Amino acid sequence: MKPAASVLLLTTSTGFGFGLLAWLGAYAALGLLPRAPVLVAAGIVIALIFTSTGLIASMFHLERKERAWRAFTQWRSSWLSREGVAAVLTYPVAIAFGVAFWRGGPPLATRLLGAATLLASLGTVYCTAMIYASLKPIRQWHNAHTAPDYLLYAVFSGAVLFATLRTAALGEPGAMASAAAAAAAAAALLAKRAYWRHIDAQAPLATLAAAIGLPQGIEARPLDAPHFSENYILRQMGFAVARRHAAKLRSLALLIGFALPLALSVLGALAPAPMLATTLALACAALGLALERWLFFAEATHVSALYYGRRI
């Protein structure tokens, strides 16, 4: 599948934003947030900047942006519509939570608003993941890995972002935030490797013979294509990345996206320069996740490419 810049930015940037909101909400719900209103207020503003960047980027994927409001109407059936509704609903919840914390509102109300922020944020990420996981013609997406993986990458990117912000506000990431970032990085790394093992072991979804309705036992191969220049279907669904390139990019994504942030999160808790370590961890995570997301699209194959004799 063609990796469009708008969709890569949408999924990674909202992952950071909603991931950070989820951590702020979770810590607040458990009563574990340090009494530092600046950290929470700045955290929520920065998280919403990340989510807004992603959502605005997604608009660039639309051919008719002026009609985008219509995408909020079909939440009964469409995960894309649900994503839009969930994203918009998360904003007032997160803002109410931030205001309650800033004003030192009633502890129970603040905790409940924190829990609501956590649920709304992860709910939105889940909707995003299900857009891809529900597409039956793409075996690399329509599987049990996609939804949990998206949640995990959002939790991981949010944890790294939270550790950086906590260091900026309080001078150190703190043992809990560092441990959370390191653990999330390790879990994300293992999940990504498990996903790659899974898609490498999958059989193609169908044979060309089944795609053209031939009885079993007959083999088919392409003879003449319907047209002699690329069309929309081939540009979108026929995108392919060379295997040897993919292997190199996978190693790079694991190293930059997960292994380095893991090591830097540990360093941030122990070393004398926590700001440098956490900022580097954040930069690596952003770069690595963008690369990982590019591969998520580029390595995905679509059944319809079979009609053109492509490998799926």
Partner 1 sequence: MSTLPERPPGAKRLGLVIDLDTCVGCHACAVNCKEWNTGGEAGILPDYDKYGPEPDGVWFNRIHSYETEEGGCSRTVNFPRSCLHCEDPLCVTVCPTGASYKRAEDGIVLVDTDKCIGCQLCSWACPYGARELDEKAGVMRKCTLCVDRIYDESVPQEERVPACVATCPSRARHFGDLADPESEVSKLVRERGGADLLPGLGYRPTNKYLPPRRARIPTAPAKPPAPGAKGIGAALLGLLDKALSR
Q: Min. distance of Cβ 72 from partner 1 in angstroms?
A: 8
Q: Min. distance of Cβ 16 from partner 1 in angstroms?
A: 23
Tokens of 126: 């889940």
Please, which residue, 233 or 266, has the CB nearer to partner 1? 233
Contacts of 128 (CB under 8 A, 6+ apart): 10, 11, 14, 83, 150
Please, which residue, 83 or 100, has the CB nearer to partner 1? 83
Q: Determine the Cα–Cα distance for residues 29 and 116; give it in Å rounded to an integer.
A: 9
Q: Min. distance of Cβ 60 from partner 1 in angstroms?
A: 11
Please, which residue, 220 or 259, has the CB nearer to partner 1? 220
> Binding of partner 1 at residue 263 (CB under 8 A)?
no
Please, which residue, 5 or 49, has the CB nearer to partner 1? 5
Binding residue for partner 1, selected from 52, 53, 74, 143, defined by CB under 8 A: 74
> Binding of partner 1 at residue 218 (CB under 8 A)?
yes
Q: Min. distance of Cβ 225 from partner 1 in angstroms?
A: 7
Q: Min. distance of Cβ 206 from partner 1 in angstroms?
A: 5
Biggest CA–CA distance in the chain, Å, is 72
Q: Determine the Cα–Cα distance for residues 159 and 20; give it in Å rounded to an integer.
A: 6
Q: Min. distance of Cβ 17 from partner 1 in angstroms?
A: 21
Contacts of 142 (CB under 8 A, 6+ apart): 133, 134, 135, 136
Please, which residue, 72 or 190, has the CB nearer to partner 1? 72
* Buried residues in 25-59 as b, exposed as e (16+ CB within 10 A): bbbbbeeebeeeeebbeebbebbbebbebbbebbe
Contacts to partner 1 from residues 231-260, by CB under 8 A: 231-233, 236-237
Give me the sign of the Cα torsion angle 26, 28, 30, 33: positive
Binding residue for partner 1, selected from 201, 213, 242, 311, defined by CB under 8 A: 213
Q: Which stretch binds partner 1 (CB under 8 A): 18-26, 129-137, 177-185, 254-262?
A: 129-137
Length of the chain: 312
> Binding of partner 1 at residue 229 (CB under 8 A)?
yes
Q: Determine the Cα–Cα distance for residues 154 and 151; give it in Å rounded to an integer.
A: 5
Residue 245: alpha-carbon gap to chain centroid: 22
Residues lying near partner 1 in the complex (CB under 8 A) are found at 1, 61-65, 67-68, 70-74, 76-81, 84, 131, 134-138, 205-206, 208-215, 217-227, 229-233, 236-237, 302-305, 307-308
